[in-house]
Amino acid sequence: MKPLGMQAIVNRRHLLLAGMASIAPLPNARAAARTLPASTNLPQELQQALAKRKPLVVMVSLHGCPFCEVVRNNYLGPMHEREGLQVVQIDMLEQRATVDLTGQATTHGALVRAWGVKVAPTVLFFGKGCAEVAPRLAGGDNDFYSGLLDRRLETARKALNG
């Protein structure tokens, strides 16, 4: 069997993602597509969250990922809109400029590599001292996602408010 070239692998991956999008279970199939603000300066974004006594929630996503859309549209987007949850998005493959938590200029893709994130979506929770204040929530294909997210947020809030 002839080994697949890189383009063939990429094409198969896109076909798989497109197929998954057509069968991915949506808790609310009529949920409007939402966007989350892209990170441009993590220290400032964290400062804004802490001023509200909330963690900074960072969603690492991948363009075209059906599970990322579910998490964004059905969980983080509504929480951002209703509760004022401070959420920003980092795209795994994007070279968009941002500032990391140490104040250094970087890109979204470089942040993802520095954090060791391998799965989209991955949700991170940051608090005082730029520390992760709750376990990461990796993946979006889970019937109990809402409960897992709520527990992580509760852990993060407790870490912030002692």
CA distance linking residue 64 with residue 17, whole number of Å: 7
Q: For 78-123, write each residue's pLDDT tens digit.
A: 999 999 999 999 999 999 999 999 999 999 999 999 999 999 999 9
Provide the 8-state DSSP code for 40: S
Query: In this model, does residue 143 exceed pLDDT 70?
Result: yes
Residue 28: the pLDDT is: 43
User: 25 φ, ψ to 5°?
Assistant: -70, 130
At 39 the three-state DSSP class reads coil
Domain 36-161 has CATH 3.40.50.720: no
Residues 57-62 have a mean pLDDT of 97
Q: What is the DSSP string of 108-161?
A: HHHHHHHHT--SSSEEEEE-GGG-B-S--EE-S--TTHHHHHHHHHHHHHHHHH
Residues 146-158 have a mean pLDDT of 96
More confident residue, 4 or 70: 70
Residue 30: the pLDDT is: 43
With cut-offs at 50, 70 and 90, classify the pLDDT of residue 15: very low
Query: In this model, does residue 10 exceed pLDDT 60?
Result: no
Domain ranges of the chain: 36-161
